[in-house]
Each structure stands twice: as C-alpha cells, then as structure tokens.
Amino acid sequence: MKLEKSFSLPTLLSVFLHGTLLVLFLGNWDFLKSKEEPYKPHYVTATLVDLKPKAKAAPQQTKEQILDSKAYEDLKNNKKQDEQRRKEAEALVQSQKEQQAKAAEAEKQKQQKIKDEQAKAAKAKAVQTEAEKKKKAEEEAKRKAEALKKTKREQEAEEEQRRIQAARQEEEKHIADSNDDANVKSYNELLSERVAQNWSRPPSARAGMVAVFNIDMLPNGQVIGVQLAKSSGNSAFDNAAEQAIKKVERFVEIKDVPIDVFERNFRHFQFAFNPEDLRQ
C-alpha cells in the first residue's frame, strides 16, 4: 500500500527511461570513437509488479502533450465549426437567394397577373363602352328616323291640310267671285236703269251709240266724279249721258255691297251707257 502511495505510474515510467538511457551510455562509451562495429543496443525490460492485481491504467500524457492535444482538438473543432459556420452561412445565403428569387418570381407573377387582370378589365371595359356607344348610336339613329318620319308625316299632313284649305279657299273664292260677279252685274244693270231713267234722248242719237265713262263713287253710293273715257262719236249723246249719270247723285243700293267687292268694282269703275232703245 505504501508503494502504491509513493509511486505513481508516470514516476515509474520516468525512472525506467532514465535508467535505460544511463545503461546505454555507460556500456557503450566508445561508440563515438570508432565506427568499425555497429553498435547494438541492449534493451532492458523493466516490469513493475503490483502486489495486488488491479485494472491497468491508461498511460497518462504529459501536460504539454495534453495541452498540444487539446489545442489540436480545439483547432480541429474550430476548423470544423468554421467550416460548419461557413457552410451554414453559404446555405443561408443560398437560401436567402432562393427565397429572394422565389419572392421576385412571385412578385413578377403577381405584377403580371395584375397587368393581365388590368388588361382584361380594360378590354372588357372597352368592349362594354363600344357596345354602349353602338347601342346609343343605334338608339339615336332610331330616334332620328322616328323623328324624321314624324316630321314627314306632320309635313304631309300640313301639306294636305294646306291643299284642302287652298281648295276650300279657291272654292269659296270662286263662289264669292261668282256671287260678286253676279252682284256686280246686277248692280251695273241697276245703275244703267237709274241713268236711263234720267236720260233725255237727243234728236241726233242713233242706234248702236255707246259712251264709256270713268265714275268715282263713295261706299255710301255717292257719285263724286264722272269723266268721259270713250266718246260715242256724238257730242249731244255724250253730254246727255253724262248729265243722266250726274242726276243719279247717290246710288243708295251700293251700300249693301261688301266693302272688298266695292273696292274692287265700284270705287273707280267704267260705265258703258247703251240705252235699250238704241240697242240693235
């Protein structure tokens, strides 16, 4: 037990190595002087016998060896860690690049999708706008056509109405003119009778004699002017006829004539005097 406590395995190994070197040195001093015979080292095997059998301990390394081994292991571990970090960094960079590429591709697809949707929406809107424009144009054309038809119908109706009105007016005018002519003729005959009643036949008067006078008259029938327009060729006949017209003075029946008829036929008119007793 005391031996176990006094010596340890490293100490024994150190003593063994020093003893071996000493034996080799003392037994072969002359190996430096002559090289004729090769030196054959003698090896001494020293064995440490433990009184009690026990588990053989592993050789203990020196402090320097332990430090060198630790430093080597640390270096090796550091290199592994650096390599691992490098790989991890590269993997991280690669992953970031892939993520960025995926994000860029996704963004590109997103923007392309937005553009496609916008283009689709714009196309749909353009189609809708064109359809609405076409529909509006068709409705406007239809409205104009209807308005044109309506205007044409109204114009045709107005034209027909004007034709009817014109025909009616023409008919009324014809009737009025016929009535006026009849009235004028009647009044002329009546005036001729009045003048004949005031006429004194001169001895020189002959059959077929006619004297034409321009007469001015007021609407009340008052004769205000008598002038010979065409002589009968016999002055006595002409003078007798003029005196007969002037004696009428006022042709009272003329007041019943419509004013327009009076203005056209009796305001200024010619009167041909041809008494019945001189007519052929």
User: For all residues of the chain together, what is the average pLDDT?
Assistant: 79
User: What are the tens digits of pLDDT across the range 112-134?
Assistant: 999 888 998 899 889 988 898 89
Examine residue 46 and state whether it is found in any structural domain, yes or no.
yes
Give the per-residue pLDDT at 31.
47
Total count of domains within the chain: 2
Domain end, chosen from 11, 33, 60, is at: 60
Q: Where are the beta strands (DSSP E) in the chain?
A: 211-217, 223-230, 268-273
CA separation, residue 188 to residues 178, 184, 254 (Å): 15, 6, 10
Examine residue 168 and state whether it is found in any structural domain, yes or no.
no
CA dihedral 100, 106, 110, 112 (to 10 degrees): 90
Examine residue 70 and state whether it is found in any structural domain, yes or no.
no
Assign 2 a pLDDT band (cuts: 50, 70, 90).
very low
End-to-end CA distance of the chain: 209
Domain end, chosen from 60, 78, 109, is at: 60
Examine residue 43 and state whether it is found in any structural domain, yes or no.
yes
State the residue range of the domain holding 255.
199-278
Domain end, chosen from 60, 79, 106, is at: 60
Examine residue 215 and state whether it is found in any structural domain, yes or no.
yes
Examine residue 217 and state whether it is found in any structural domain, yes or no.
yes
Examine residue 114 and state whether it is found in any structural domain, yes or no.
no
Examine residue 274 and state whether it is found in any structural domain, yes or no.
yes
| CATH number of the structural domain spanning residue 266 | 3.30.1150.10
Q: Count the Cβ atoms, other than its own, within 10 Å of residue 252.
A: 12
Assign 199 a pLDDT band (cuts: 50, 70, 90).
confident
